[in-house]
Structure 1
Amino acid sequence: MEMILGIPIRSVSMHRPSKETLEADYDFGHIVNSYSRTFFRDFKYLSDSRRHWRENIFDVMASGQYDRLHILTHPFWYNDEELTMKESISQFVNKANYERYLSVRDNIRDIDEIMLESEVVG
C-alpha cells in the first residue's frame, strides 16, 4: 500500500473486526494495529458508533481518570452542517447514485437519450 500511495503507512484500523481478528492480536511490525490488545487493555476505548457515544466523551476526558484514550470517530456522520442520521445516510446513498450515473455517462454514448441527469436522485 505504501508503494501505491507513495506515503508511509504508520497504522491500520479495521472496520468492525471479527472476534477472531481481535483475539489474533495481529502484529504488523512497525505498523500500529489500533485493534491490538494494548489499545484495549491499556487505553480507555471510546467510539461514536452509529453516531452515538456510549459515554460522554467530554466527561471522560475531564475526569482525569485515564492516562490514555483510544478514540474512534466515524467521519461519515459529520458534515459542515448538523444532519439527522436519516439525512446523512440519504445524502451518502444519493451521492453514490449520482456518481454511478456520471460513470455510466462517461461510458455510454448518448446517455441522455436513455436517461436524463435530472432523473437521478442525488
Structure 2
Amino acid sequence: MKVVYELEYDEEKKIITGRITGELNRAVAAAMASRLAELSLRHGCFRLLNDLREADLIPSVLDIYMIPREVEKAGILKTFKRALLVRPPLDDFRFLETVSFNEGHRLRVFRDPEEALQWLLK
C-alpha cells in the first residue's frame, strides 16, 4: 500500500496538522520528521496534531523503539509537543508513546481529536 503524508500549518489554531495514510514505518517517520522540522522553523510553531487513524504501524518492536531517535536526528527537538490521533489496536502506539516519553519527548497518543487539541494548546 502506498504511503501518503501531509503536513500544513494551521494559522488559526497555531499548530501544525499532519495526516498519514498507509504503512507507517521508520523511514516514513524520518522523512515526515524532516519536513516537519522545516515547517516548524518557518512558522515558529512546535506543536503537531498528527492524524494516524488511517495509518498502519508496521515496524518491528526495534523500529518503534528507534522512531524517537530518528525524529530527533531529523531536527525535531524534545520540547516539540506532538499529539497522535490513532485507532485501535493501541498497543504499538502506546509502546511508541512510552519509548518517546522515556527518551524525553513530549508525545501523547489520543483517540479523541478534541482531547488531543486541548492537550496541545495547554
TM-score, with structure 1 as normaliser: 0.31
Higher relative contact order (CA 8 A, sep 6+): 2
More helix by share: 1
More strand by share: 2
